[in-house]
Structure 1
């Protein structure tokens, strides 16, 4: 990509990021609810509320608050959490690794499973298994992630005990690790993996269902190409035809789709983390919205928007490298 085009894309991304956070700032401050009223006890007086609003900077005009906040962002200061009385950067810094770990693992499984299922459907086009996988993928993709989370909890936690599942299938439903906090070493790692199974299963299941639909369409388009027919006519084995020739040419748009899907997986963890009580970005965002914690909401929105814009830019950079026809 020429430097002039890259610079223009970066400038467009910065402007878009500014528009997103500015609109979010306006919406959260116009939403009903007063952070001071949520922080004060019921017995507090109007004077107490006024003093708290002054301390939090909420008594200034909206334009002044916006200039203060955007100036702090330009200096790398996201402000202080109203509810937690901690710097927003620390609140998000504690939550981001959990969300990124959950999202990266889910995204890897999403791509591997989705491409494998979509390829199988394309190869078996018109057969019963293609129809069954299409129905299953459409159902999972259309289902809300919080509903799938509750189903997974009911099946592998309460249902596993009731129906006498093997111990390996009786999975913990909430939290990141054992509440006792006494596990160490390999036992702690195994416990973390067991806690991660259900949220990863939900996130990767929804993502793989969507990727499978795109992979099926991309493979069907490639399988109809002349080079695939030529490879078959030369007697190439099916594994070589589908792997080296067909899948290799269908992968570039799927890899770009993977880059674009990463922010969706991270944002989709909002509901999953809330249901499974994972202390990540999603749960922090939900709690901040409920507590009218404006700085945390704005900081999380800024981070989510930056991820989306960065993923789009990465997709633009990856496509010419993966697809020689776009160079």
Structure 2
């Protein structure tokens, strides 16, 4: 297993380099530039030239990429073009805990809701319960995150006043876990919605195949309780295809957090990414792109490891 993991990590290095090359080229080809300076009508050409010279923006694109890659390997993502003098790594580290908290709660919420409902739907196929779960799942898949977030804010925050409209904590209030969870409920639910729907459908489909297997009929014939047969004997095998989806959920949460954090004003790396994109803050965009690519690799690696945990027949 250890050898397999090391080999997968080594194989991921060329993939990550390829992603950085494409991302760097796309960012450089995007229209606009250092907008904070270009939007200043009083900027002097000499000052603008000094700015481009300082950040190496006059160099050929392959020279710029080589310098950036060399610094990135050493853990230096450069400094922000917008927030002058602020290291990019510092900006990301300040916001990363908020995104990890949001992703962690959303993942747990998606798992504890979707898997039981998927099993329930599979054990009662083509019943009213099954149709209800199916329709709800399709609605979850079809509903855009930004629209759902705005609807929940209008109803639960503005109209009922049950939850705050955004942010991570109440302004000028001392830190408390309850206050943080109070602000976390709506964005975590919205971020988990699409994944809950997908996991529910995949769990149902997988469990429908499992309940038809001979060993399941044998377990029922021996007089075991239905819940024990389903959750102890069937669920472990039924979750194997679902693990693939779970591994892909990790990068999916990164992409979803861009929208959810913007709607709820959640100061995480998703909101930082979209703000930096509008401001053409190239060093921040590139750093977050690399981090997102690493999350994709980690998600797939986690899926492979979970395969072996849930199914001892799998060897590496």
* TM-score (normalizing by structure 1): 0.91
Match of 2:18 in 1: 19
- Unaligned segments of structure 1, at least 5 residues: 162-169
Q: Would you say 1:325 and 2:313 are equivalent positions?
A: yes
Mapped contact 1:157–1:172 kept (Cα < 8 A): yes
Distance 2:49 2:6 in 1: 47
Distance 1:32 1:40 in 2: 14
Q: CA deviation at 1:8?
A: 3.5
Matched residue SS, 1:324: coil
Match of 1:63 in 2: 62
Distance 2:275 2:217 in 1: 56
Q: Would you say 1:298 and 2:286 are equivalent positions?
A: yes
Mapped contact 1:38–1:291 kept (Cα < 8 A): no
Q: CA deviation at 1:36?
A: 4.8
Distance 1:32 1:7 in 2: 40
Over 3 Å counting, the alpha-carbon distance change for 1:204 and 1:37 in structure 2 is: closer
Distance 2:259 2:248 in 1: 20
Structure 2 counterparts to residues 47-58 of structure 1, below 5 A:
47-58=46-57
Distance 1:45 1:36 in 2: 14
Quote the RMSD (CA, aligned, Å).
1.6
Q: CA deviation at 1:94?
A: 0.7
Match of 2:27 in 1: 28
Q: CA deviation at 1:55?
A: 2.0
Match of 1:274 in 2: 262
Match of 1:201 in 2: 189
Match of 1:116 in 2: 116
Q: Would you say 1:219 and 2:210 are equivalent positions?
A: no
- Unaligned segments of structure 2, at least 5 residues: none
Distance 1:204 1:95 in 2: 20
* TM-score (normalizing by structure 2): 0.94
Aligned residue pairs, count: 314
Distance 2:303 2:75 in 1: 27
Q: CA deviation at 1:238?
A: 1.2
Distance 2:275 2:14 in 1: 29
Distance 2:295 2:257 in 1: 14
